[in-house]
Amino acid sequence: MKVAGWTPAVPRTNRGVLRGLLGACLALTVVFGVVGGVAIASRSSATNQFAAQAEPLAVDLQQLYTALDDADATAAAAYLSGSVIGTALRDEYDSDIARAESSLASAQRAVGGGNDAVSTQLAVIAAQIPVYTALVATAQADNRLVSTPQPIGTAYLREASTLMRSTLLPDTLAAYRAELSTVSTIKAGATGVPWLLTFWLVITLALLVAAQRQIARRTHRVFNPGLLAATGVLAVATVWTLAALGAHRSDLDNARDQATRVQTLATVADAAIQAHADEALMLIAHGSDNGAYADDFTAQLKTATTALQSGGAGTSTSKLADVAARLLGWSKADGQVRSAVAAGDYRSAVATALGTGSTDAAGIADNLNAEMTNSQHAFADDSNSAASALDGLLAGLVAAGILAAAAAGYGVNRRLAEYR
């Protein structure tokens, strides 16, 4: 029964159905292209941020930490060496401070105003470095007047070391960990599943299949060239996207593995550096520390050994094997230092600490720096490969959406033309 003045809201004629299919196909294929372009643009941006800003900032902070740590160890060794500081120790200390200031400046430029907490910590570090160097300079000036370390100079040096270990290094480590968290967040954004793109792809392909079935049922023609072409375009785009995203994620995972390796090796290096400082400060303290420096030396050497044996250090190399051997040899040499101190032979203890101990510490640092440099280069290569994996995909998905829309529009219009 018909009701006067009422017309169906949804057209039920073949022409009406085809027009509805045409509109839906055009809309969904175009939206697919837009969504795909936005998704890939977002990943490209996150990848570039990860490779060019976030991870390099973390490296700057790690290098700042290592330089400050090494400066403290070198200052202690220089003070222990006597009133006449060797050129090598003086140059190493000056180089450490220069590297620390350079890494700090680079980190401050990189963080900008993007992270207020990190910026505040870096500002504190920048203000405290001159205080630290002034304390060290005062201790060294006092030490130049006598043949053996004196209480006043020793007090200044211990105050400098306390400032380093209670403020400078903890603040640097806090900033470093905060940046690592940011790096992980950025990487997650660059490698997560593109759910919105996946949703639109499934919906669009489902519509194209449904449209072909409707046209076949209403026109009694099995195939529609336009809709088949549109489906083919989306299928090619899907394969391309899966391959590109798979390569992208694999390269970023490799890059993150290299970054993790650098972090592990830095842990080994920093622990070894602090052990070196502990050994010198233990001798400078002459027992006034109640064994605190000796205990910390043992703890730091254990930390270095454990970190070196962890999976994060990666496959053992000849340099890492040498590091392991030097850590063991250094531990034995420290036993000799302590035995000499217990026997009252201070000169022999100092000679061993500045000789075998310093040689092992320097060899450990050189080997670890070489390994970290190799990993940083590998990180850069993997990051660049990850970015390259997405080259052309953004434009390709946008073009795929337009081509699919054009093909679907052509196919449906051909059938519509038959009703004119």
d(CA 263, CA 312): 8
Q: What is the DSSP string of 272-299?
A: HHHHHHHHHHHHHHTTTTTTHHHHHHHH
Averaged confidence pLDDT in the chain:
83
Q: What is the pLDDT of residue 52?
A: 74
Residues sharing a CB contact under 8 Å with residue 32, sequence separation 6 or more, in sequence order? 197, 200, 201, 204, 234, 397, 400, 401, 404
d(CA 159, CA 270): 20
d(CA 347, CA 154): 17
Among 353, 252, 321, residue whose Cα is nearest residue 49: 252
DSSP 146: S
**Quick one: average pLDDT of 191-211?**
84
Percent of the chain with pLDDT over 70: 89
Of the given ranges (275-279, 328-332, 357-361), which has the lowest mean pLDDT? 357-361
d(CA 155, CA 279): 17
Residue 259's identity, in one-letter code, is A
pLDDT of residue 27 exceeding 90, the answer is no
Radius of gyration for the chain, computed over Cα atoms and rounded to the nearest angstrom: 33
d(CA 68, CA 161): 10
- How would residue 243 be classed by pLDDT, with cut points 50, 70 and 90? very high
Contact 372, 266 (CB under 8 A): yes
Among 407, 416, 405, residue whose Cα is nearest residue 204: 405
**Quick one: average pLDDT of 3-24?**
59
Q: pLDDT higher for 83 or 127?
A: 127
Q: What is the pLDDT of residue 239?
A: 92
Contact 360, 330 (CB under 8 A): yes
112: alpha, beta or left? (left if phi > 0; alpha if psi -120 to 50): left
Half-sphere exposure of 174 (CA within 13 A, CB side): 17
Q: What is the DSSP string of 173-201?
A: HHHHHHHHHHHHHHHHHHHS--HHHHHHH
d(CA 107, CA 63): 10
Contact 47, 248 (CB under 8 A): yes
**Quick one: average pLDDT of 137-159?**
76
**Quick one: average pLDDT of 405-412?**
81
**Number of DSSP helices (H) and strands (E) in the chain, helices first:** 13, 0
d(CA 183, CA 179): 6
d(CA 172, CA 107): 11
Backbone angles phi, psi at 274, to 5 degrees: -65, -35
CA distances from 152 to 35, 131, 141, 284, 410 (A): 69, 17, 11, 12, 91
**Quick one: average pLDDT of 26-48?**
86
User: Which H or E element spans position 10?
Assistant: none
Residues sharing a CB contact under 8 Å with residue 143, sequence separation 6 or more, in sequence order? 79, 82, 83, 149, 150, 153
Contact 247, 387 (CB under 8 A): no
Please give the model's pTM, rounded to 2 decimal places. 0.77
- How confident is the model over 129-145, as pLDDT tens digits? 999 999 999 988 876 76
Contact 393, 43 (CB under 8 A): no
Residues sharing a CB contact under 8 Å with residue 123, sequence separation 6 or more, in sequence order? none
> How many other C-beta atoms are found inside a 10 Å radius of the C-beta of residue 279?
32
Q: What is the pLDDT of residue 98?
A: 95
Q: What is the pLDDT of residue 10?
A: 39
d(CA 176, CA 158): 25
Half-sphere exposure of 47 (CA within 13 A, CB side): 30
Residue with tokens 């970290």: 372
- How would residue 182 be classed by pLDDT, with cut points 50, 70 and 90? confident
Domain ranges of the chain: 21-419
